[in-house]
Amino acid sequence: MPYVKGRDGTDLYVKDWGSGRPVVLIHGWPLNADSWEPQAIALAEAGYRAIAYDRRGFGRSGQPWAGHDYDTYADDLAAILDAAGATDGVALVGFSMGGGEVARYMSRHGGRGITHAALIGSVVPGIVQSDANPNGVPEAKLTEIAEQLMTDRAAFMRGFFRDFYGVGMITHPVSEDYLDWSWNVAMQASQHATIEAAKAWGYTDFTPDLPAFGVPTLIVHGTGDATVPIKATAHRAVDGIARNQLVEYSGAPHGLFATEGDRLTRDLLTFLSN
């Protein structure tokens, strides 16, 4: 099942490893399914079926002009679940903007087949600064990101990933080689999809989706996340999701799947076993 057709005919690249209970891993912006590989391997080895896919416009998936919004993203997820026959006992794990797919699937598709959910460094319930979200990212900053992606996406991504993984003069949670790999993956995406997806995760308000989380939900977030501030997202998600478990990684940056990979894998496996 390397490719699944979205409802509009877009080809969606899917990796399907192992057997057993399905765990769907949804990647963040601007990466692809490969960012989840260490966790996918661990899940498959632990007896789960790890399913990861490239979001439309990214990685090996098709690059359509339209459909870069969360309703379509959730429909793409539904198409993948249907094609995989993953209709019961499914766990959804969304990183960063991938948390938005989890939230919108739960509301738009009624949480069909889902028994567990996890939001990892997620943008849910919303990242843009407002009266209701004073700790969010200022709209001017989101506008600046879009402009930089248009004028010199390659240069923007170089700096973005250093903040993403918390790389500085003293701290080096990931290697320069890993930064290069991340840049290469990001540049596989279409420029249009990269910009439109940034608008989607930057401006979508998932607050109305939160009551649809009727399943146990793990929320993991780094307190040092400079990309998706914890007070704007995870702390507000806790208020809106009834059956939640919040785990804060002290001082950790945004890219938890890499910088805190082993710990995240253990936490996911523990959560899924309960």
Q: Which residues are part of the catalytic machinery?
A: 96, 225, 254
Provide Rg for the chain, Cα atoms.
17
Alpha carbons 57 and 62: distance in angstroms, whole number: 6
Q: Which residues have a Cβ under 8 Å from the Cβ of 252 and sit 6 or more positions away? A: 166, 222, 223, 224, 225, 259, 260
Q: Are 6 and 67 in contact (CB under 8 A)?
A: yes
Q: Are 52 and 183 in contact (CB under 8 A)?
A: no
CA 214 to chain centre: 20
Q: Which residues have a Cβ under 8 Å from the Cβ of 43 and sit 6 or more positions away? A: 17, 18, 23, 49, 50, 268, 269
Tokens of 43: 């899940």
Strand, helix or coil for residue 7:
coil
Residues forming a β-bridge with 92: 24, 117
Tokens of 176: 């320069």
- Cβ neighbourhood burial of 157 (10 Å; 0-12, 13-18, 19+): buried
**At which residue do the structure tokens 């890499």 appear?**
258
**At which residue do the structure tokens 């969304």 appear?**
94
Tokens of 98: 């991938």
Alpha carbons 190 and 57: distance in angstroms, whole number: 6
